[in-house]
Homo-oligomer: A and B are copies of this chain.
Amino acid sequence: MKLGIVGATGMVGRVMIDQLENLNFPSDELYLSASEKSIGKEFFFRKKKYTILSINELLSKSLHIVLFSAGSDVSKQWAPKFAEMGVTVIDNSSAWRMDPNKKLIVPEINGFCLKKTDKIIANPNCSTIQLVMILYPLHLEYCIDRVVVSTYQSITGTGQKALNQFNKEKEGFSYYEDEYEKIYPYPIFQNVLPHCDSFLDNGYTIEEIKLMKETKKIMNDKKISITATSARVPVIGGHSESVNITFKKEPDINRIYEILSKTKGVIVQDSPKENIYPMPFFSHGKDEVFVGRIRKDYSCINSLNLWIVADNLRKGAATNTIQIAELLIEKKYV
């Protein structure tokens, strides 16, 4: 299996390489590409040496699969060129997610709908993946009417520059008096920014719109009402989500536990009196989605609250991308 990664030196790209080793992914040959300034440079990862190629060079390698994680513009320009040459692209940007002719895949949920002819496959937004991993199995049983979600998003979602800004502020540098590279419009250390990605005219951020639209597409149900508020918190290790769900049928809390406990890729952590609940400090480096604080919302019929945490670089990005690749191999589509 010949595999390529575009955007290999970024935060998600590095986790992808890491995951390929962890998951014993059958890649006999791995080729890496990154931005212009890295081309030709040697890149060491886990004691292995890679030479960074240009995307054009990658295109000539007769790859089976190429994983893209280099932003929307790169994907829009290059993914079709790989697809035309018969290479299956799994794209981690937002470029193709809402394209009606492209599939937006979380393997546990809608992996079954993949076909051999799908040459550009979209990987969902990080905060969407962990949300649908919990919503979907509950939707099958109780039919979701409405979801209200508020996120607590890790700075790793913004990339290495965000970590650099955080570290400078942690060391005592002043956002307004000292010079250092600032990726956020305000200090992130000891602060919360109700602002992930850019704002649209309707007052929502692109991140919030992604959460709402992608959820409906993955769950293949346009009738689900969903609203979202996304906030950036000074956290590393994972995104957290406070979720209120209203079902069409009355949910049974014990049955909810049963469903989620049996859901592949989900771990229930819910013994609050023993301080067992999901937290980003502990989701760091884990592939699963963690759920807890599951409790009836006594204020509204058929409703409950719960708390979801996952490593946004793992299941929220790299892990899900590689799981899509694994599924394609298993189905002999590549």
- Chain A contacts to B: CB under 8 angstroms: 146, 148, 150, 152, 170, 185-187, 190-195, 199, 202-205, 212, 225-227, 229, 231, 233-237, 240, 242, 244, 272-273, 275, 277-282, 292-300, 303, 305, 307, 309
Contacts and interface: CB of A to CB of B under 8 A. Distances in A.
B194 A307 contact: yes
A281 B150 contact: no
A73 B212 CA distance: 46
19 contacts: A152-B152, A185-B275, A186-B281, A190-B237, A203-B272, A203-B293, A203-B296, A204-B295, A212-B299, A225-B300, A226-B299, A227-B299, A227-B300, A227-B305, A229-B305, A229-B307, A231-B242, A233-B233, A234-B234
Q: Count this chain's copies in the assembly.
A: 2
Contacts of A237: 190-191
A203 to B, nearest CB: 3
Contact of A192 (B194, B280, B292): B280
A166 to B, nearest CB: 9
B278 A194 contact: yes
A309 to B, nearest CB: 8
Contacts of A150: 150, 229, 242
Contacts of A146: 299-300
Interface centre among A191, A226, A279, A298 (most CB of B within 10 A): A191
Given A212-B299, A242-B150, A190 B235 contact: yes
